[in-house]
Structure 1
Amino acid sequence: MKHTHPLPGDIGLTQISGVTGRLIRFGQWINGDGFANYEHAFLVLPDDRLLEAEPGGARIRPLSQYAGADVLYVCPKGLTEQQRSGICKAATRYVGVPYSFLDYAAIATHRFHLPVPGLRRYIAATGHMICSQLVDQCYQDAGVHLFADGRWPGYVTPMALYELLAR
């Protein structure tokens, strides 16, 4: 479900410019998500704040940092206030979690069914998360499973969130 006024627990999807944005677009393309306009996902928190994964580690920042940016806010239909609260509570546990571009390569390895023993365990054990993995994990921790397609936990790109929630 798409909307314009974000609520706590909503997911923000936006673009990243420059080389970083192009690298993420390429990573998403390798993973079958195409070259679309959403390379970044973040989680809206109470008090006009957000949680986002960044190369220096996940941080809570003011939502106003995206004022004027082209942000699409989405959430699953029927998300309750209790679920929103649980998602936001889960988010606070992930401050400082490192970011890893290597997760795009691991997601692609899984997508192409390359036989890499221990790949699933590796992704879970590194403790690193890209932005969309972080958002998905906060939802899972609150008992809200976004994807019912059998994908491994952590195999989520920003465009996968767009395809699921905004189309």
Structure 2
Amino acid sequence: MNTPLPGDFALTKIGGITGKLVAAGQALVGDASPVQHAFVYVGYGEIVHAMPGGAEMISIEDASEPVVWSTGKIPLSDEQRRTIKREAFNLVGTPYSFLDYASIGLAHFRIRPRWVRDYVADTGHLICSQLVDEVYLRAGIHLFSDGRLPGDVTPGDLWHLLHPKRVTSTDRDLRRLASE
């Protein structure tokens, strides 16, 4: 494994019923993957992640063991890394939203009433993968170019971004990020 740098994100597994529910939801919307959680490394052995009690910064030693890091897979400038780190710090305390899971599920089935779109676009609440997507977006990095709204992302989407199965929009997204 490459040593993570501030601004890199990791994907992890969640045990218990919560992990099973997230995995089932991801499978239902076509994002099946071996991961159910995401966090951003901010340096000095600390991460920021979204949890049911709100986004928090904790020691990486207290986090779930990473399955994969974005290190070396998504090119980041020093300035982008500083911005991601700063924005992750700024999101600490942001409330969690279980309703965002339902919204993301509806998006995968192309059911998007305006109030649902507006709710997801409101960054006053985040799930773990939305936190990753949001800090990258604030650093000027659009991880996905498939027309999705910012925040319409699951841990499975991030997994598929880092592990494309075949030439897909995900492959194009990684090539686009590498060329920027």
Q: TM-score, normalised by structure 1?
A: 0.90
Pair 1:22 & 2:34 matched: no
Counting only pairs closer than 5 Å after superposition, residues 71-82 of structure 1 correspond to structure 2 as: 71-75=67-71, 76-82=73-79
**CA, structure 1 residues 13+149, in 2 after alignment: closer, same or farther (shift >3 Å)?**
same
Query: Which residue pairs with 2:167 in the alignment?
Result: none
User: Could you list the runs of 4 or more consecutive aligned residues of structure 1 that deviate by over 3 angstroms after TM superposition?
Assistant: none
Q: 1:124: Cα distance to partner?
A: 2.1
Q: 1:128: Cα distance to partner?
A: 1.5
Q: 1:160 aligns with which of 157, 175, 180?
A: 157
Give the letter aligned to residue 57 of structure 2. Answer: I
Distance (whole Å) between structure 2 residues aligned to residue 47 and residue 152 of structure 1: 32
**CA, structure 1 residues 156+115, in 2 after alignment: closer, same or farther (shift >3 Å)?**
closer
Q: 1:114: Cα distance to partner?
A: 2.2
Q: Percent identity?
A: 44
Distance (whole Å) between structure 2 residues aligned to residue 41 and residue 126 of structure 1: 17
For residues 99-123 of structure 1, give each alpha carbon's deviation from its aligned partner in whole angstroms, at most 9, with x where no partner exists: 1222111111111122523211122
Q: 2:50 aligns with which of 53, 58, 61?
A: 53
Distance (whole Å) between structure 1 residues aligned to residue 60 and residue 28 of structure 2: 30
Give the letter aligned to residue 71 of structure 1. Answer: V
Q: RCO (CA 8 Å, sep 6+): is it higher in 1 or 2?
A: 1
- Calculate the aligned-residue CA RMSD, in Å: 1.7
Q: 1:126: Cα distance to partner?
A: 6.7
Query: Which residue pairs with 2:115 in the alignment?
Result: 118
Q: TM-score, normalised by structure 2?
A: 0.84
Larger mean Cα displacement after TM superposition, 22-31 or 153-162: 22-31
| Structure 1: stretches of 5+ with no match in the other structure | none
| Structure 2: stretches of 5+ with no match in the other structure | 165-180
Distance (whole Å) between structure 2 residues aligned to residue 163 and residue 115 of structure 1: 23
Q: 1:23: Cα distance to partner?
A: 0.9
Q: Aligned pair count?
A: 163
Q: 1:77: Cα distance to partner?
A: 3.1
